[in-house]
Amino acid sequence: VTGASFVVFNGALKTSSGFLAKSSIVEDGLMVQITRETMESLRQALRDKKDFTITCGTTDAGDAKEYVDICWVDNEEKTNEG
């Protein structure tokens, strides 16, 4: 689990790169590089206020994957304290 001050979603990852998606820590935030198709799905999930999971890693990594989960919560007060 990684806490971040901000998240950047970059939809310019090429499908030919061999990655499903890539995540990296940038300063005190998180940058997630995703394909155009994943960006479209993410945008729709945000519009619909639905949870969304981005699987990061190479296409041939097997079980060694990272996940970026976007989750909607009922009570934002407790989530953002401190």
Considering the domain boundaries, does residue 82 fall inside one?
no
Considering the domain boundaries, does residue 81 fall inside one?
no
Q: What is the DSSP string of 1-68?
A: ----S-EEEE----GGGSEEEEEEEETTEEEEE--HHHHHHHHHHHHTT--EEEEEEETT-TT--EEE
The number of domains in the chain is 1
pTM for the whole structure: 0.79
So what's the pLDDT on residue 79?
56
So what's the pLDDT on residue 1?
65
Report yes or no: 22 and 56 within 8 Å, Cβ to Cβ: yes
- Domain of 22, CATH number, reads 3.30.1360.220
Condensed to tens digits (0 to 9), the pLDDT of residues 15-48 reads 899 899 999 988 889 999 999 999 999 999 999 9
Considering the domain boundaries, does residue 78 fall inside one?
no
The whole-angstrom separation of Cα 48 and Cα 62 is 31
Give the residue numbers spanning the domain of 23.
Answer: 6-70
Q: Quick check: 54 pLDDT over 80?
A: yes
So what's the pLDDT on residue 14?
93
Q: Among residues of the chain, what percentage have pLDDT more than 90?
A: 60
Considering the domain boundaries, does residue 75 fall inside one?
no
